[in-house]
């Protein structure tokens, strides 16, 4: 019985880590196919300079969430909260690195 528990725990933690990873991969896909056009026009290159510019406007995790929602609205895509969250995870993991 103990073994069954241990195996179940292992499977659950594997599933959790896979879904966290998938969120970021999904976030990158959503981001790359929707979010770069304006930023490229503003910053050149692949547009990611907007996330690393010296005077960037984001200074917290909450600020990042707000900005992604704002940009989603100006883009006009009806993304549900989990799409927004995936993109926030992607940007935070790669550029902002805030703790929640």
User: Left if phi > 0, otherwise alpha if psi is -120 to 50, otherwise beta: which for 98?
Assistant: beta
Least distance CB 2 / ligand HEC (angstroms): 46
Residue 72 CA to residue 59 CA, distance in Å, equals 19
Least distance CB 45 / ligand HEC (angstroms): 14
Least distance CB 62 / ligand HEC (angstroms): 12
**Which residues between 26 and 65 bind ligand HEC (CB under 6 A)?**
31, 34-35, 37-39, 50-51, 56-58, 64
Structure-derived torsion over alpha carbons of residues 55, 61, 67, 72, reported in degrees to the nearest 10: 140
| Gyration radius of the chain over CA positions | 17
- Chain residues binding ligand HEC by CB under 6 A are 31, 34-35, 37-39, 50-51, 56-58, 64, 67-68, 71-72, 74-75, 87, 91
């Amino acid at each position: 019985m103990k073994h069954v528990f241990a195996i179940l725990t292992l499977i659950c933690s594997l599933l959790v880590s896979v879904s966290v990873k998938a969120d970021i991969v999904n976030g990158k896909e959503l981001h790359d196919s929707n979010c770069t056009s304006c930023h490229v026009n503003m910053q050149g290159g692949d547009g990611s300079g907007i996330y690393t510019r010296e005077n960037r406007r984001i200074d917290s995790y909450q600020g990042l969430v707000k900005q992604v929602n704002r940009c989603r609205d100006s883009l006009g895509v009806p993304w549900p909260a989990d799409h927004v969250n995936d993109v926030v995870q992607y940007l935070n993991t790669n550029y902002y690195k805030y703790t929640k």
